Amino acid sequence: MKASLIFISIFMLAFISVPAQVAVNTDGSAPDMSSMLDVASTNKGVLLPRIAYAGLFSIAGPAEGLLVYCIDCGPGENGSLVIFTNGSWSVLNTNCLLPVAPDEGAHESALTQIVWHWNAVPNASGYKWNTSNDPVSSTDIGNNLSYTETGLTPNSLYTRYVWAYNTCGSSNTASLSHQTLPYSIGANYGGGIIFYIDGTENHGLIAATSDQSTGASWGCAGTLIGGTSTGIGTGQANTSTIVGFCSETGIAARICHDLELNGFDDWFLPSLDELAQIFIYRNIIGGFSTEYYFSSSECDANKAWEKSFFMGDQGCWFKNVPHYVRAVRAF
């Protein structure tokens, strides 16, 4: 029972703050009056936590004046004593300070691209950029204050990271956030120009920026292909149906079906309603004649739907009469 009481007393004392000075030495001397902790030794030192640079930023809420030995923070990435002060880590070598984190700049957006910007930092000799919060695997971009990132998804929010650095090491992480532009009529995207966006605002149609033919027949005059439609969203199926049943070469649907343009090979001949939508934005897309263009919508065994790009009138005309051709694709 007595031993238990002693143990409990020691345990409770471990959690009581005692406002006193402490001396750690071998000669029993009292601590200096100016010090809360006075360590004296003739053959030993005080060992601080030893942390790699990347680990500094995993310390939650570092206190002003916190000291750590950084194993790779000194000039040439040697070890150095570092202190957390004024919101960042500084190396305690002679006149050697880590740069502060850059401030976020005014970014620039496009459909699939963001030009990231940040402000210059005093004492920085360069900057690093990364898609993840990892300075070790970051890309060194020298003194540039911007980085262009491509291949992004439209209407999407992105977060990226940048660091300033000098011979002492790197700054804290600067987080950058920006959003790409949403799809828009007239935008250059997917190998051409967007001329239609559906109700989801995530899908639509793209027109090639030049004609694929100035005189192609519709094909298989006198033969009813069947199975084609006039509505928006049917052009691709129409084209597949035509080339599947009509073996003639050089026809409008086959020209579009076999087209490889600007890195894409899924082009097709637009349906009548898709062609009408193209006519609305013909000046934005550009490159059109004022002649008639074929759609992939069949009227009967001898005729197919056509549209004038002069007055905009449309009707059924003979399949074997050459027309202009403009390919489209979906996204």
Band the pLDDT of 255: cuts 50, 70, 90.
very high
Do 172 and 195 sit in the same domain of this protein? no
Residue 73 has pLDDT above 90, yes or no: no
Contact call for residues 213 and 251 (beta carbons, < 8 A): no
Determine, yes or no, domain membership for 44. yes
- Decide if 13 is inside a domain: no
Task: Count how many domains the chain has.
Answer: 3
pLDDT at 75 over 70: no
Domain membership flag for residue 117: yes
Model's pTM, two decimal places? 0.63
Region 162-169 average pLDDT: 88
The more confident residue out of 50 and 273 is 273
Question: Are residues 193 and 326 located together in one domain of the fold?
Answer: yes
Same domain, 315 and 231: yes
Vertex 283, ends 203 and 210: CA angle to 5°? 75
Helical ranges in 150-290 per DSSP H: 235-245, 252-257, 272-280, 282-285
The answer, yes or no, to whether residue 6 has pLDDT greater than 60, is no
pLDDT value at 76 more than 70:
no
Q: Is the pLDDT of residue 190 over 70?
A: yes
In a domain, 157, yes or no: yes
Strand partners, 329: 206
Same domain, yes or no: 206 and 302? yes
**Residues 142-148: what's their mean pLDDT?**
97
The CA distance from 272 to 142, in Å, is 54
130, 147, 179 — which closes off a domain?
179
Number of residues that make up the chain: 331
Domain boundary among 145, 179, 213: 179
Is 1 domain-assigned?
no
Q: Which two tokens stand for residue 171?
A: 């700054």
What integer pLDDT is reported at residue 5 of this predicted model? 46
Start-to-end C-alpha separation, the chain: 80
Q: The CATH number of the domain where 159 resides is what? A: 2.60.40.10
The pLDDT confidence band at residue 97, using thresholds 50, 70 and 90, is confident
Specify the pLDDT at position 296.
Answer: 98
In a domain, 236, yes or no: yes
Clarify whether residues 143 and 238 are in a common domain.
no
Average pLDDT, the chain: 89
Domain span including residue 296: 188-330
Q: Is 12 left (phi over 0), alpha (psi -120 to 50) or beta?
A: alpha
Out of 22-31, 132-141, 186-195, 307-316, pick the least confident. Answer: 22-31
> Domain for residue 67, yes or no?
yes
User: In which element (H, E) is residue 12 found?
Assistant: helix 2-13
294 has a pLDDT exceeding 90: yes
Model confidence pLDDT, tens digit, residues 19-48: 567 878 777 788 877 778 878 887 888 888
Q: Are residues 159 and 251 in the same domain?
A: no
- State which of 179, 200, 232 marks the end of a domain: 179
Kindly report the number of other CB atoms within 10 A of residue 314's CB atom.
Answer: 20
**Res. 74: pLDDT tops 90:** no
pLDDT value at position 184?
94
77 pLDDT band (50/70/90 cuts)? low
More confident residue, 53 or 122: 122
